[in-house]
Structure formats: C-alpha cells, structure tokens
Amino acid sequence: MPAPKSVPSKTVPSKTVPAKETGPAKETGAAKETGAPKKTEPTKSERTRERLLLAAATTLSRLGYAGMRLVDVAEEAGVQAPAIYYYWPSREQLIEEVVTVGTARLREYVEAALAAAPPGATALDRLDIAIDAHLRQLASESAFAHAVIRNVSQLPPAIRSRQVVEERAYAAIWRRLFTDAVASAELRPGLNPELAQPLIIGILNWAAEWWSPERSSIDEVVATAQSIVRHGVAADGPH
C-alpha cells in the first residue's frame, strides 16, 4: 500500500510544473492576439453578394441603365436570377447599390491616401496624392467607375439619393484641398477654385473611359495628370 501512495506524490509535481510554466506564455500570446484587430474571412453569403455586385457593375457599365436586366447580371455572376432577390428586392435597389458603393469606395480610398500623407506635405503635395489615389482606384475598380460615370446622369432621383450623399462628401474633400492651396498661396492668382475643382475631377474621371494597360502604365497616367494640374493651378515659383 505505501508504494501506490508514493507514486502520486512524485508524479503530481511533474505534471503541474509544465502547466504553470506554459500557462502564462499561452495567455500572453492570446493577449497579444486579442489586442490586434482580427481579420475575419468573408462568409459564403458575403462572397456571393460581392460577386453579384461586381457583376451588376460590369453589366451596368456595358448595357446602361435602360438596358440592364437582372438576368444579365445573373449570367455574368454565374447564378440563377432569383438568387439576386435574396440580397436586393428590386433591380433599382441593385443599381442604387452599385453607384453608391462605387462612389463610396473612391472617396474612402482617396481619404486613406490623404490621411497617410507625410508630415509637412504642402497643399499641392496633397493635391498630387489625391490625383494619384483617384486614378489608381478608378483603374483597380474600373467596372464600378464605368458604371457610375456612364450612368449616373441618367438615373432617376430616387435611385441617386444615396449616391448623391457620397458624391457631395467626395467633392468636399477636393474643396478642402483647393481651400488649403489658396490659404497657403500655392494656387495661381486669378484661378477660380470653384471651377478648377470640377474640371479636374472631370478630366480624371474621363481617364476611366480611354485608359488601358496596353496603352500605357497607370504610373505614366498619374505622373502626366499631376504635371498638367501642377502647371495649370500652381502659383509661380517652386512647390
């Protein structure tokens, strides 16, 4: 009987010591992991919704507002047309989502680029950053860009209501850029910033219609646009 009693007394410490040593290490690692934002994979439903949205943008840019049918969107996405109604109750709401998301993603991309501007960036430097971000976003999500640019003027006011909010928020970013350039005397005297702003955005938007990787690199397009705008709006002297 003494032997069986002595076995637990010797083995219990050997089992508990590793638990005490490894426990805090695991907790620390977990704490570090929970402290950082976790990236969650999109669900199957979310992936299907995004695929449908992209298919709708592609179809809308190709067929236009009057010609786009849900069956065309379903064919582009590789699903049955009734599946679309699980996410959007009507064709109009799907189109509204496309143009709203397209405008919102452009705004968010440019905002993020400006937020990452280096300390001490001048007003014209920030204008260059906005031009770069605008063109690269249009190039990377060309289906949404084409869908918005080609169709937004044809849409009924009810469909545009959400998109207009995003459009105005985006225009406000560019107004601030020009306001800052005026305040820092970096804008050419006599230039009307209220006219220059929509003209420049219009020129940038049009690039989505004619540019292709076969024609030139996006880097060349960005550099050319920045040069044109700088020479057109900058005050005399180095900036």
Got the DSSP string for 178-220? HHHHHHTT-BPTT--HHHHHHHHHHHHHHHHHH--TTT--HHH
pTM of the model: 0.78
- Candidates 177, 171, 92; CA nearest to 127 is 177
Per-residue pLDDT tens digits of the chain, which is 239 residues long: 444 444 444 444 444 434 444 444 444 444 444 455 566 888 989 999 999 999 999 999 999 999 999 999 999 999 999 999 999 999 999 999 999 999 999 999 999 999 999 999 999 999 999 999 999 999 998 899 899 999 999 999 989 999 999 999 999 999 999 999 999 999 999 999 999 999 999 999 999 889 999 999 999 999 999 999 999 999 875 44
- 92-233 has CATH 3.40.50.2300 classification: no
Distance CA 125, CA 143 (A): 29
Q: Decide if 101 contacts 55 (C-beta within 8 A).
A: no
Based on the number of CB atoms within 10 Å of its own CB, is 222 exposed (0-12), middle (13-18) or buried (19 or more)? buried
What does the buried/exposed string (b/e) look like for 4-14 if buried means 16 or more CB atoms within 10 Å of the residue's CB?
Answer: eeeeeeeeeee
φ and ψ of 203, to 5 deg: -65, -45
